[in-house]
Amino acid sequence: MSSDQTPPAVEDVSTQEARMGDGADDRFNSTLREAFGSTPFILTKFDKFMNWVRGSSMFMLQFGIACCSIEMIHTYAIKHDLDRFGSGVPRASPRQADVIIVPGTIVSKFAPRMKRVYDQMPEPKFVVSMGSCTISGGPFQEGYNVIKGAEEIIPVDIHVPGCPPRPEALIYGVAKLQERIAEGESSPVTVKPYELEQFGDLEQDELVDKLASEIDEEDLVMRYNWNDSP
């Protein structure tokens, strides 16, 4: 059936030529390109270049905890669109993420999980803590179950205050983080007040003795000494 039809007329130009049009596509001649003039090379330090790259293309972890995550969603979504700043690809897996935004109150049951998620992220990794709860516990600071800030658990690069911060504030925080990364700075990873450790390694005291029948020696635990919290 198809053989009856006349084949489409073969034109003289190849597809590639047709697409190229006349000469090079001037869309590539950006102002940046013009600024470089005729030379196609940039001279810079490798570290500096890498830091600039790192800051300009960040994969965020898709990570929601509490109220702030609603504003975080709005920051990712239309109108505010964090993607414009080279940092809007939420990844569901911590193994693919560079930045974790901690959006909300951290409570005793969640802190070990959050530490685990943070540990699963590959280096170099950065943390933006969003909202008052991640700074000090915020309005829930006096609660019996509330960790007084994300910095009790993981190192934090940027704090964005607010309850909740507006999307604009979060964008500002992320932009500041990019600036810091481009300058090669990040928060030192230090020992935090609340660390995951094996139950068997805990110092023996009344509480440990009491729980010895419930928790295995090898189980990871987090011990909260509320009195020592800043």
Partner 1 sequence: MSLEKPSRDTALDVGVTEDGLDYDALADLLGGHVLDREEHVNAEGFVIRPDEVQEVLSTLKEEAGFDHCACVTAQEYDDRYESIYHLRKFDDPTQELSIVVPSPKDDPHNESAARVYDTADWHEREAYDLVGIDYDDHPDLRRILLPETWQGHPLSQDYNQDQPQIVSLREHANPLEDDKRSEDDPDTMFVNIGPHHPATHGVLHVETVLDGEQIADLEPDIGYLHRCEEQMCQQGTYRHQIMPYPDRWDYISAGILNEWAYARAAEDLADIDVPEYAQVIRTMSAEMCRIASHELALATFALDVFGDFTAVFQYGIRDREIVQNLLEDLTGQRLMFNYLRLGGVAWDLPEPREEYFEKIRDFLDDLPHKLEEVHDLVTGNEIFQMRCVDTGVLSKEQVKQYGATGPVARGSGVDYDLRRDDPYGYYDELDWNVVTEEGGDNFSRVLVRLREVEESARIIEQCVDLLEQWPEDDREIQANVPRTLRPDPDKEIYRSVEGAKGELGIYIRSDGTDKPARFKIRSPCFSNLQTLPEMSQGEYIPDMIASLGSLDIVLGEVDR
Contacts of 86 (CB under 8 A, 6+ apart): 55, 56, 57, 58, 178
Binding mask 78-97 for partner 1 (x = CB under 8 A): xx----------x-x-x---
Task: State in angstroms the smallest separation of the CB of 74 from partner 1.
Answer: 7
Residue 211: both structure tokens together: 């729980």
Kindly state whether residue 157 participates in binding partner 1, applying the rule CB under 8 A: no
Nearest alpha carbon to residue 110 among 71, 76, 150, 73:
150
Q: SS3 of 23, please? A: coil
Asked whether position 212 contacts partner 1 by CB under 8 A, the answer is: no
Q: Counting beta carbons within 10 angstroms of the beta carbon of residue 108, is it exposed (0 to 12), middle (13 to 18) or buried (19 or more)? A: middle
- Quick one: which of 71, 98, 151, 157 contacts partner 1 (CB under 8 A)? 71
Least CB distance to partner 1 at residue 197 (A): 10
Look at the alpha carbons of 207, 208, 212, 215 in this order and tell me if their dihedral is positive or negative: positive
Residue 173 as a binder of partner 1 (CB under 8 A): the answer is no
Cα dihedral sign, 158-186-80-105: negative
Q: Shortest Cβ distance from residue 227 to partner 1 (Å)?
A: 5
Write the binding mask 107 to 136 for partner 1: x where contact by CB under 8 A, - elsewhere.
Answer: xxxxxxxx-xx---------------x---
Where does this chain bind partner 1 (CB under 8 A)?
Answer: 62-67, 69-71, 73-74, 77-79, 90, 92, 94, 104-105, 107-114, 116-117, 133, 139-140, 142-146, 163-164, 166, 196, 199, 202, 207-208, 210-211, 214-216, 219-227
